[in-house]
A and B are shown apart, each in its own frame.
Chain A
Amino acid sequence: KAGVTQTPRYLIKTRGQQVTLSCSPISGHRSVSWYQQTPGQGLQFLFEYFSETQRNKGNFPGRFSGRQFSNSRSEMNVSTLELGDSALYLCASSGGTAGNTIYFGEGSWLTVV
Chain B
Amino acid sequence: GENVEQHPSTLSVQEGDSAVIKCTYSDSASNYFPWYKQELGKGPQLIIDIRSNVGEKKDQRIAVTLNKTAKHFSLHITETQPEDSAVYFCAASSFLSGNTGKLIFGQGTTLQVKP
Contacts and interface: CB of A to CB of B under 8 A. Distances in A.
Interface residues of B, number: 24
Interface in A68-113: 90, 92, 94-95, 100-107
Interface residues of chain A: helix, strand, loop or mixed (majority): strand
Nearest to B97: A55
A32 interface: yes
B115 interface: no
A42 B105 contact: yes
Interface in A1-46: 4, 31-33, 35, 42-45
Interface in B1-48: 32, 34, 36, 42-46
B45 A104 contact: yes
A106 B40 CA distance: 11
Interface residues of chain B: helix, strand, loop or mixed (majority): loop
Contact of B102 (A4, A33, A103, A107): A33
Contacts of A103: 46
B101 A50 contact: yes
Nearest to A9: B41
B45 to A, nearest CB: 7
Contacts of B91: 43
A102 B103 contact: yes
Contacts of B98: 50, 55-56
A36 B103 CA distance: 12
Interface of B: 32, 34, 36, 42-46, 49, 89, 91, 93, 95, 98-108
Interface of A: 4, 31-33, 35, 42-45, 48-50, 55-56, 58, 90, 92, 94-95, 100-107
